[in-house]
Every structure is written in structure tokens, then in C-alpha cells.
Structure 1
Amino acid sequence: MHIAPLWLLVALQATVSAASMVVEIVAGRMLAPYVGMSLYTWTSVIAVVLAGFSAGHWWGGRLADRPGTNPMAATGWALAAAALTTALAGFALRAAAGPVLTALPQPVWGITALTFAAFFLPSLFAGIPAPLLTQVSLSGPSRQGQALGAMFASGAIGAILGTLLAGFVFISWLGSLWTLATVTGVYIGGAALCFVLAKRLAKLQAATLLGLAVLAIATSLSPGPCKIESRYFCLQSVDISADPAHTTRAMVIDHMVHGISAEDAPDVMFTDHAAMLDALARLRAPTANPSSFLIGGGNYALPRAFAFRGRTDITVAEIDPAVTLLAASDFWFDPTTTQVLDMDARRALLINDTRYDIIVGDAFTDTAVPQHLVTLEFFQLIKARLSPEGSYLMNVIDYADRMKAVGSLVATLREVFPVVEVWSEARRPAQGERVVMVIAAGVAETAANSFVVPAPDRTTFAALGPAFVDQIAAAGLRLTDDYAPIDRLVGPRD
């Protein structure tokens, strides 16, 4: 005798599948404040979640074959466990982050272990219902092939729906913690339905589900690491003032500082990369009031400094409007001084044929420049959008004893620009140190081979020797839209 109609089993399986995929997407967002949003983060999330699903399917199959098992009651308890572990995922992540990342400083292992600590169990318990519900569907009056096909299809359709809801609705409108609370509520509702169908909704089950609902609300109200959670990033504004009379703040995007500004020093850069970009933009400017296009806004320290010095033609392509709003509210950026485009920089340059004297590349996902902004095709687009005497300045991070990323960028840029320079702080880096550099590309060399600017202390920066640049470029890869492994070239270290 069948326990439930096929349509209800199909709907339940689709709902569980959708909820589990929402958790997978949220996992990447929740990990970002601790380990960044990189290729390694998403690889770990997908691998851990799939491992959880696989273990859950195996466990559910064992339960389905166990004599005396009520499959709907077992599904109810599995969903209750999924609700519990989902509600606690945020707590597990915060508790595990410090110990795991300290014990496993190597990024790949650290990210994988942290993902496992927070998101393996929710995936495992969400994987248990599929074989149990399939067993029930096969016991009904429908043809077994039809029932089996419907259950497989419902899992796939639910996964698609969950992915779309997570990316386009839940995270954007609810944030990570409330999204997890919503998924917890879905699991609680599914568990209650299963207990009713199994005729097992007694006081114990009801009390368990009520307790899980209270826990879901409590966890959603707990403070998270983000001041602002946008469609793209976890954003924070951190006061780092040494003197309360001179306010200084850092903008943290995901887990990295992307800019520092002081209220009363609009023309002083507080990071090496910003100091080099600012100085080189002045040294290489072909006119007294050059037009500039900035790829990525960050805390808008550069456009703020440009405007302070009287520049009137400033354009910034910042894909995340929340970053611009935070720069205006917390970092003294005046939006009326700059044309801000809320779109990807490559698209912005592609659809508009305006030419600029200076184009500045300062966009990062974790420690690497986004892949589509490091290719030959993109650099050709940059060249087409520069004035005849214009320059392209690009911020890049690499390891001093490896230089694979910088070498590949130089090699690729040299196919487009006759002059390519690499700048860094004028000192010998420590063995294995991660170094911030700026690449300058154009038709002429910079007028000086070194300069001293406040960063915020007075710091000397210099161009690397041509012979050394030739050496690292010779070992570099040609980066194209078809092949640009910038994440691997930058790191992590072995």
C-alpha cells in the first residue's frame, strides 16, 4: 500500500534538492570573509557538498533496505537533522575558522577543511531522503519506470530552482544568515509533512521541530562578519585611526583590505599599490588634466585624490553599487566628481569607444585579478581605448621568488604595448614574500626610474631592471580568453 501520491513525493524531493543547493551557494558567500572568493573556495564548496550528498545517498539507501524502517519517518528525521546542521552552519564556521586556518595555513587544505567543518553535515542529511522517497514512489500504483524518472527529474529541477533562487533572490534580499534560516524552515516543514504521512507526528517530533524553528530564528539574528552584504561581496568599514582627531578607515571586501583613506588627507595613499598607481598616473599623464578610467573602485581613494587635485574627467567602473555607496558614506568620496558605471569594466570599455589618457586596473577577486581582465584580448581592448600617448597601469600581486603571474602579464602585454615596466618598493623582498607590484604599459618609458611618495610614510618605489623583466617574461605564459590560469599562477604556494 502506497503512503503518498507520486506528485507529493516528487514535490518533496524537488523542494529538498532546491534547499540543499541554496545552502551550497550560500556556503561560498559565507566562506568569503574568512578565505576570500576564489577558484579554490568554489572548488572546495562543490567537492565537499557533493561528498555530503554522496554519503547521504548511501546512508539513505541502507535505511531503505533495513527491515522495519518506515521510510517517511526516516525521511522526517533526516530532514530534522538537516535543519539542525543548517541552522548551526554559521556558528560552526565561526568556531572552526581560527583553529582550522591556523593549523592548516596552506590555502587549499585550509579552505577545504573549513568548508567540511561547516557544510558537510547539512549536505549529508539533505542527501538521505532521495533513496527513501524513491523507494516509496516505487511502491505506489504508478509504473515503476515513470516513478523513477519523475523522482530523478524532480531532483534535477529542484537543484536548478535552488541555484536560481539563491543567486537572484535569497542572498540579494535576505543575506546569508536569513537565507540559512529560510532553508531551515523549509526542512522543518518537510520533516513535519513526512511525520504526518508516516503517522508519527507525536509530541517528541513536534517539540523537536518547534525547537529547530526557534534555533533558526536565533541564528539568523546573530551578528555576522559583514557590515553590508551585497550581491557580490561582504563589505566592512573598519576604523583604524591612530589619532581620534584624524579619522582613518579601511575598506574590507570579503577578507582583504581594498583601500585605506584618511578624512583630512585626500591626496595621501595608505597602501603601496595605491601610492604607485597614483604617482605613475601623474608621471605618465600626457596632459595637465588627463582623462582617466579606473577598473574597480575599492574605497575610491584614487578618484578622490584625482578630484582633489583638480582633475575633472574621471570614470570608474565598479560592478558593485554597494561598494560605491560605502565609499561615499564612510570614505569621504564625493560621487558628483566622478562618473560611476555600475558594470563590469570590460563590458563598459566594450560598449563605449571613449578614449582615455590613463586607464588603471585595480580589480581583484581574492589575491588575483579576474581572469577576463588579464588576457591578450582585453589588453587589445585597453589599447583601443587609450589616447595615442596614453598609459595602462595595473596592480598585481605575486611571490618574489616565483613571479609567474607578473611574467605572464608582461609577456602578454608586450604583444600589445611597445613599453612594459614593472614597479615595486625599492627594497630586496624576503624569501617567499608576497609582493605588491604595478605594471605600466604604453608607448614611452616613465620619465623617472624611481620616486618617493607617502604611503603613508615616505617610501621609495622603483622600476625593476629591464634584464630581470626580460627574464621573468621569457618564462611567462601567453594569457588569452581561452587560457588564463591566473589563480594558479598567483598561488597558493606549494
Structure 2
Amino acid sequence: MLSAVGLTYEIAAGRVLAPFFGTSLLTWTTVIATVLAGFSLGSALGGLVAERPRTQALGNVRSALIATAVLMAASPTLLALIYSIGARGTGGMMLSVFLVFFPASVCVTLPSPLLAKLAIEARPGREGSSLGIVLAAGSIGAIVGAILAGFVTLPLIGSTATFAACGAVALLCLLFLRDGTPVKHRATVPAVAFVAFAGFAGPPVCQYESGLSCLHIVQRGPEVHLISDGTPQAAEQVDRWDAESGAVGLVLPYTRWLWARMDNDLGPDPSVLFIGGGGYTLPTRLLASRPQAHAVAVEIDPLVTEVVRAHMPHAAEMIAQTGYDATKHPRSANRRLGLVHADGRIYLNETDHRYDAAVMEAFSSGSVPAHLVTRETFARLREIVDGPVYVNLIDTSDGPLARGVNAILRELYPHVRIVHPANSARNRRNILFAASRDPLLPLDTLPAGYEPTQISDARPFTDDRSWVGHR
């Protein structure tokens, strides 16, 4: 049971970190290393506890379980507190992970040696098989915990309640620690109350949460913004309708550049593939301005589409009028926006459709998933897309992600144009690419604040040696 709690806690830790520090190879590496370090120290300390007199050892284990419950239930609040104090960047992320998740990882493993010792003593002469059963039970518990976190608790009840549930299960383990003597542990009742409060009254980390996304809807005057893992994902100006095109005005500057390029480069009836649905603002603009156009939007998380339907009226109307499940139904005159809820790379590998253009705008937190920025991914795009490919990244002006993608595009396409914001309040900014087999005509005007830029040479990312995330 404690092994299941430990693995559920570890996976939930990686998930709850995303709204504050994003999701990347670096964040997951830090979480896994920190939690495993806690497990190791907890096992070592638990071995010392197991050598103490039985009554004293059981008392120590009960204290560890109570501490586990309180620390796990408090994890989201502690993380938000440390972030609010000023923890930022890779160093701040590593410090936050250690301070929040290491203590509970130590406490949850501390009872294991004593429990193993009790199991061995219960079967004299069968020490080897008893130890094997204990180890196997721990592994099975870890498997169960991983499945519960990924498929059940995080998607259904969210991060805050998942941490509280971990604490509740740790407290339930107290019922199995009896040695025939009366147990007086004054901290148990307050711990139960705290865990219950954290689970039912604790503020949720996300307004909308699935196993893949932590979403918030923010209303800023007439604009509705979709925030994913703390990063602006899309925005719609709900009170402004472009009379000429019949489409909502685009709010975010990078979407205005992408649309300007698409409007300049594409014909009257293009078929466009969007890897990443986001707020569906670009597909909405495309289909509204070109009645003969067709789009397929590949969005890995169905929750994103549900939130857009509920809060972004113009995109929701386009989905309601022309949207269809592209995995089940063929394209028709009324079905012009194909919806695919799948990983973008899997769709690229399996689709047999051809497109006139593609927009690569898939994000996990503040970065593109590593498997979508490799030479193999863009080579497959080149096979199925006859026209230009547009790419949106978030990086520094000449950062490692931008350099790697630039190297791939220049290797595959003879014509590449790149722009970025001239000034940005943050170090990282949108880096926008347009790549094509044919020459790309310059735009008459650029969105305010955007200008052409150059990217240094670098090694292209591949499936074997790919992007590792922002440091």
C-alpha cells in the first residue's frame, strides 16, 4: 500500500510542478531523482528504526505515517508558497522540488524495513520467500500507484485531491500497526482533520485539469485567454468580429503573423493540418475567411477542446457548425474542421491524407514536446504536406530550441523565413518560422513589435538526440 502511495505521489509531483516550472526532461529528472533519494534515505533510516524495541519502533513508524500524510496533503500549498516567494528558473525549480517533495518521500518509505522484518519473523524458516513476497508486493504496489495516478486520480479528481488521497491512505495504514498495547497518538486526529481539509477545501491547482493539461480561463476585458500550465495558449476577442473576413480578430501577435503568412501564401481552398489545437483561433480564422478551405486540428487533450467549447464563443461556434471527428467521418461540404484527439507524432506517422500547408503549434507547458521537433518529424511532414510549414516555438532569440529547429528546416527546405518580437518583457519569446519548397513572398507589414531575425547554425534534433527542455 505504501509503495502505491509513493508512486502516486511521485507522478502527482511531476504533474503539479507544470503550472509553475513547466514540463520537460529536466523537471521530470529532478522530480524522479529527488523522490528516489527520499526513498533511499527513508529506507536507511527505517532500517535503524526496525532494530529498536518493538513498541518504540511501532511508535516511530506511526509518527512517520502521520508526517507522510500531512506533508503529502500540504505539497501543493507549499509549492505555491515557495514559488510566490521568488523561486524561478532551473535552480528555483530544483530547490522547490527538494523542499516540497523530499521530506514526504523520506517519511513514506521509513516504515518499509520494519514491515519487512515483521513479515520475515511471521514465517520462521521461510525468510527467503518472505522477503521475496515483501519485495514483490512493493513492486506491485508501485505499479498500481502509477496506474492510479495516470489513469484515475489525476484525470478525475485533480492534483490537490490526489495529494490528499495519498495522505489519507498513509493514515489508513495506521490501522494495521497494532501490537496489543493501547495506542495513544495525539497527532492522529489533527492529521486526519488536516488531510480532509486539504482534500475538500484546499484550493485547486488548476481551474480545469486532466492528466495532460492544467488549464485556466482568464477574462481580460473583451478578451478571453486560455492559459495552459502557466503559459498563454490562445486568446479570442469576443466582442470583435472582422466584417471583411467574417472571423474574430486575433489577439496574440504571433497568431497575427502566422495568419498573415497563411493568408499571403495559401490559395482560396487550402487543406491545412494543425498540430496542436489550442484555442482553435487559427483554424477558425482560416475557415471563416475561406469558405472552401478545410482544416484538421490534432489536439492531444480532449479537455482543451471542451474548455474552448465552453469559454471561447467564436471558436466554439466554428466547431459546432463545421467540426467533426476526423477519425470516424470523411470530409464533406459541411464538415470542414476535422478534430483528432491524439498525439501529433502518432497522427503524422499513421495518416494517409495530404495537405497544402501545416501549422506546428503543439505545446507541453512552455515548450514543444521533444518528439515533435526532430528531423524525423519534419521529414514526415515534408512527405504529406505539399506547401509551406509554419512553426511556433518559445525560446530565447538564438536559443538551443530555435537553433535546432532552424537547422532541421534549412536542411529540408530551401526557403525559410524567421521572425520574433523585437522587445519582450521575458527572456523567452515566440520564435516563428515559415519554411517552403517555393519562394516565400515578403509580407507587406508585420505585426507590431515583430521583426526578421537570424538563427545560428546548430546540430539538428533527431529522435535519438532530441530537445531536452528549457534550462
* TM-score greater than 0.5 by the shorter chain: yes
Letter in 2 for 1:227: Q
Q: Is the 8 A contact 1:40 1:111 kept in 2?
A: no
Query: In the superposition, relative to structure 1, how do residues 201 and 120 fare at CA in structure 2: closer, same or farther (>3 Å)?
Result: farther
Q: Is the 8 A contact 1:79 1:188 kept in 2?
A: yes
Match of 1:154 among 137, 144, 154: 137
Kindly report which structure 2 residues correspond to 1:177-196, keeping only aligned pairs within 5 A, or say none. 177-194=160-177
2:225 corresponds to which residue? 250
Residue 75 of structure 1 and its aligned partner are, at CA, apart by: 2.4
Identity between Structure 1 and Structure 2 (%): 29
1:349 corresponds to which residue? 348
1:129 corresponds to which residue? 111
Q: Is the 8 A contact 1:414 1:420 kept in 2?
A: yes
Kindly report which structure 2 residues correspond to 1:209-358, keeping only aligned pairs within 5 A, or say none. 209-221=188-200, 222-241=202-221, 247-265=222-240, 266-285=247-266, 287-311=267-291, 312-332=293-313, 333=315, 334=317, 335=319, 336-337=321-322, 338-358=337-357
1:7 corresponds to which residue? none
Q: Secondary structure at the match of 2:359?
A: strand
Measured in 1, the distance between the counterparts of 2:371 and 2:220 equals: 34
Query: In the superposition, relative to structure 1, how do residues 79 and 316 fare at CA in structure 2: closer, same or farther (>3 Å)?
Result: same
Q: Is the 8 A contact 2:357 2:388 kept in 1?
A: yes
Residue 351 of structure 1 and its aligned partner are, at CA, apart by: 2.1
1:12 corresponds to which residue? none
Match of 1:412 among 408, 412, 416: 408
1:42 corresponds to which residue? 28
Q: Is the 8 A contact 1:76 1:192 kept in 2?
A: no
Letter in 1 for 2:367: A
Q: Secondary structure at the match of 1:91?
A: helix
Residue 250 of structure 1 and its aligned partner are, at CA, apart by: 1.0
Letter in 2 for 1:379: F
CA displacement 1:138-168 (0-9 Å, x = unmatched): 3233422222222222222211211111111
Unaligned 5+ segments in structure 2 are 241-246, 323-336
Q: Secondary structure at the match of 1:359?
A: strand
Letter in 2 for 1:328: R
Residue 432 of structure 1 and its aligned partner are, at CA, apart by: 9.2
Letter in 1 for 2:356: D
TM (normalized to structure 2)? 0.89
Measured in 1, the distance between the counterparts of 2:113 and 2:275 equals: 49
Q: Is the 8 A contact 1:72 1:133 kept in 2?
A: no
Q: Is the 8 A contact 1:73 1:200 kept in 2?
A: no
Q: Is the 8 A contact 2:119 2:130 kept in 1?
A: yes
2:180 corresponds to which residue? 199
1:448 corresponds to which residue? 442
Measured in 1, the distance between the counterparts of 2:25 and 2:90 equals: 10
Cα RMSD (Å): 2.1
TM (normalized to structure 1)? 0.85
Letter in 1 for 2:410: R
Letter in 2 for 1:257: P
Q: Secondary structure at the match of 2:259?
A: helix
Measured in 1, the distance between the counterparts of 2:52 and 2:160 equals: 37
Letter in 2 for 1:145: G
2:333 corresponds to which residue? none
2:66 corresponds to which residue? 80
Kindly report which structure 2 residues correspond to 1:49-60, keeping only aligned pairs within 5 A, or say none. 49-60=35-46
Query: In the superposition, relative to structure 1, how do residues 237 and 201 fare at CA in structure 2: closer, same or farther (>3 Å)?
Result: farther
Residue 66 of structure 1 and its aligned partner are, at CA, apart by: 3.0
Query: In the superposition, relative to structure 1, how do residues 70 and 198 fare at CA in structure 2: closer, same or farther (>3 Å)?
Result: farther
Query: In the superposition, relative to structure 1, how do residues 192 and 395 fare at CA in structure 2: closer, same or farther (>3 Å)?
Result: same
Residue 330 of structure 1 and its aligned partner are, at CA, apart by: 0.7
Aligned length: 444
Measured in 2, the distance between the counterparts of 1:201 and 1:291 equals: 74
Residue 63 (structure 2) pairs with residue 66 (structure 1): no
Residue 345 of structure 1 and its aligned partner are, at CA, apart by: 1.6
Q: Secondary structure at the match of 2:249?
A: coil
Residue 362 of structure 1 and its aligned partner are, at CA, apart by: 0.6
Measured in 2, the distance between the counterparts of 1:284 and 1:200 equals: 80
Tell me whether 17-26 or 73-82 shows the greater mean CA deviation. 73-82
Query: In the superposition, relative to structure 1, how do residues 192 and 298 fare at CA in structure 2: closer, same or farther (>3 Å)?
Result: same
Q: Is the 8 A contact 1:25 1:167 kept in 2?
A: yes
Residue 449 of structure 1 and its aligned partner are, at CA, apart by: 5.1
Q: Secondary structure at the match of 1:451?
A: coil
Q: Is the 8 A contact 1:369 1:486 kept in 2?
A: no
Unaligned 5+ segments in structure 1 are 1-14, 242-246, 454-458
